[in-house]
Structure 1
Amino acid sequence: MDIRTIDLNLLRVFDAMIEHRSVTRAAEALDLSQPAMSAAVARLRSLFDDALFVRTGSQMRPTPRATALAPAVHRVMDTVRSEILQAHTFDPATSERTFTIITPDIGEINFLPKLLTRFTESGARLNIRTLAMPRHAAAEALESGEAELAIGYFPDLHKAGLFQQRLFRNTFVCIIRDDHPTIGATMTLKQYLAAPHAAVRPGREHLFEEFLQQRGLTRRVQLETSHFTSLLPIIEGSDLIATVPRDLADVCVRHARIRIVDVPIKAPTIEVHQFWPRRFHKDAGNMWLRAQVHELFRA
């Protein structure tokens, strides 16, 4: 018997006949007309070359062949109902899933503590794996399934094939040590350009650097580093200024003797989004994670 010739709907008919022992009652259970049910039973008989169900009094009793087939057919139908047709759900209280998220080091500082707290609150043993990579590689990682979510400022990811959701707008501010000798509560543009700076250039173009270049402004960069996370001890222990996104500045203020000063020029804003590929759009776990991110970090 070739499975390609079998109408698998006939297994529903067979299972209903085993249960109800009546063409009429089986038809009602499957919401079929009695003629349609009788035609399906006839097809089953032809398929298995056996009468399968024989009228005995008021019932249609199974033949030995039908009795032998019944457990296997029931297992198949039970699997279809309980596993294949069951709505895919995600329970954070029982899952031990690992979520792979693309985010830069600034994102790790800002997003991970709150996400991990949310995981703990859910009572689950959920895990996070983060990746930092160039923007073009981020798109490839999402499309290949290597990662399932990207959170941060990724202008290259605003493309077809990726879903996105804006979380908040970020501004730039300056951070300096609490007892900075020359800068008080405010700072002039002349002070800003003359002061020694720590600049973060993480291997790709930086929005604020482009902003200064477009206006013909040059500052004195004494230190270049590739990671925002390096700034906290550097700024606390020196007279350097760093111009950073506001969310990172807020973290620095909480963990070091650092204070925030406004940038003395109208700085650009950046939009922070979460991005995910089409293949994970309807995934229950990914949907749950996106909902947590949106709830925790939306403006």
Structure 2
Amino acid sequence: MELQDVDLNLLVVFHELLRRRRVSAVAQALGMSQPAVSNALNRLRRLLGDELFLRTAKGMIPTPLAERLASPIGESLDAIHHTLNASAGFEPAASQRAFTVAMTDIGEIYFLPALMQKLGEVAPGVTLSTVRNQGDTLQGEMESGRVDLAIGFLPDLQSGFFQRRLFRQRYVCLFRQGHPLEAGGITLAAFRAAEHVSIVAEGTGHGMVDQAIQRAGVARHVRLRVPHFVAVGHILQTTDLIAVVPEAYAQRTLAPFGLQTAPCPVRIPDIAIHVLWHAKNHREPGNQWLRQLVVETFAR
């Protein structure tokens, strides 16, 4: 097969299908109709003699050949894109770019309301997608360019990444208003006796909470373990359970769920929340603009 036999636009559609896994999402991202995306995929199937993507209930799943082609095609398209735009700036007011940002459910609760409001003011055509910032896969996703930025507490992202600190925060105890512990406060004895919700938050740095409590020699009565923070407010609202959570998350839950906070009687190190990006995007104008917007909006 010769390069003149290949329409570059077909590879762009292929690359977006790998990222988004749905024809409708690719059509929206590329400004095409869904039939046009399907037609491009059919042309590429005939050209390569492979189905490339199989339809499932969870979206389009790549075949083994598509998975082998993913990295070299993605790298080639990135190289072409960066070369063509090397001298171009980024105009947020006119841009239709789609960015992908990795963050936890806490990040979505804390950052997205203000960030989306800001985007509406200065870049109304820019769209944002979020993905979970689990350390075991995030590094590869950012190296490949599928994720533009990561925001959160991510101590495992080191080599090949730049970072800018947004703020530091402490951990606090979170519980409902009218809780039996409200009057006397959460002493160490009360903390030991209380029933707890433990948040695993696998793939982030928040697992160090359990480690810090164990190192302090404090045995908690963990009544419930959950994999993420998103349901914690609902759970605490109607029970006498308590949870140890980052203060930024706690502040977003107080009014909606009728909760309150108290200092944690166990010493847990403060954490730093960063915005991180891969070295390959360090000088890319759009990435520079987005991370500066994040810093201006949230750094303190």
TM-score, length-scaled by structure 2:
0.68
Counterpart secondary structure, 1:150 = strand
Evaluate the alpha carbon distance shift between residue 185 and residue 149 of structure 1 in structure 2; reply closer, same or farther with a 3 A threshold: farther
Q: Which residue of 2 aligns with 1:97?
A: 97
Per the alignment, residue 31 of structure 2 pairs with none
Quote the Cα distance in structure 2 between the aligned partners of 1:101 and 1:85: 21
1:243-289 per-residue CA deviation (whole Å, 9 max, x = no partner) reads 10000000001322011111113321111111101111111111111
Q: Which residue of 2 aligns with 1:164?
A: 163
* Alpha-carbon shift at residue 203 of structure 1 (Å): 2.8
Distance 1:84 1:254, change over 3 A: same
Q: CA deviation at 1:297?
A: 1.4
Query: Which residue in the other structure is 1:144 paired with?
Result: 144
Query: Given residue 167 of structure 2, which amino acid in structure 1 is its aligned partner?
Result: F
Q: Is the 1:185–1:261 Cα contact (8 Å) retained in structure 2?
A: no
Q: Quick check: 2:150–2:277 contact (8 Å CA) kept in 1?
A: yes
1:286 maps onto 2:287 in alignment: yes
Deviation at 1:183, TM superposition (A): 2.8
Q: Deviations over 1:164-210 (max 9, x none)?
A: 11111111001110111233362110001110011111234701111
User: Counterpart of 1:271?
Assistant: 272
Determine the C-alpha separation between the residues in 2 that align with 1:113 and 1:185: 35
CA RMSD of the aligned region, Å?
A: 1.8
Separation in 2 of the partners of 1:225 and 1:98? Answer: 32
How many aligned residue pairs are there?
A: 216
Q: Structure 2: where are the runs of 5+ without partners?
A: 1-82
SS of match in other structure, 2:191:
helix
Match of 2:223 in 1: 222
Residue by residue, what CA displacement relative to the aligned partner does 1:41-73 show, whole Å, maximum 9, x if unpaired? xxxxxxxxxxxxxxxxxxxxxxxxxxxxxxxxx
Mark the runs of 5 or more structure 1 residues left unpaired by the alignment. 1-82
Residues 185, 172 of structure 1: CA spacing in aligned structure 2 closer, same or farther, 3 A cutoff?
A: farther
Specify the SS of the correspondent of 1:228. Answer: coil
Query: What is the aligned-residue identity percentage?
Result: 34
Aligned equivalents of 1:165, 1:156: Cα separation in 2: 15
Residues in 1 aligned to 2:184 and 2:292: alpha-carbon distance in whole angstroms: 38
**Equivalent-residue separation in structure 1 for 2:191 and 2:106 (angstroms):** 23
Aligned partner of 1:105: which letter? D
2:245 maps to which residue? 244
Which has the larger Rg? 1
Partners of 2:133 and 2:150 within 8 A in 1: no
1:217-255 Cα offsets, whole Å, 9 max, x none, are 110011111110110111111111011000000000132
User: Structure 1 residues 92, 192: CA separation in 2 closer, same or farther (over 3 Å shift)?
Assistant: same
1:155 is paired with a residue whose SS is coil
User: CA offsets per residue over residues 113-141 of structure 1, 9 Å max, x none?
Assistant: 11101001115121111111421311111
- Asked whether the 8 Å contact 2:164–2:274 carries over to 1, the reply is yes
Q: Secondary structure of 2:93's partner?
A: coil
> Are the equivalent residues in 1 in contact too, given 2:212–2:267 (CA < 8 A)?
no
The answer to whether residue 184 in structure 2 is matched with residue 208 in structure 1 is no
- State the secondary structure of the residue aligned to 2:181: coil
Task: Give the distance between the partners of 2:156 and 2:265, measured in 1 at CA.
Answer: 29
Deviation of the 1:94 alpha carbon:
1.1
Q: Distance in 1 between matches of 2:298 and 2:85?
A: 34
TM-score, normalization: structure 1?
0.69
Q: 1:186 to 1:93 in 2, by over 3 A?
A: same
Q: 1:1-299, aligned counterparts within 5 Å?
A: 87-157=87-157, 159-184=158-183, 186-204=185-203, 206-299=207-300
Secondary structure of 2:100's counterpart equals strand
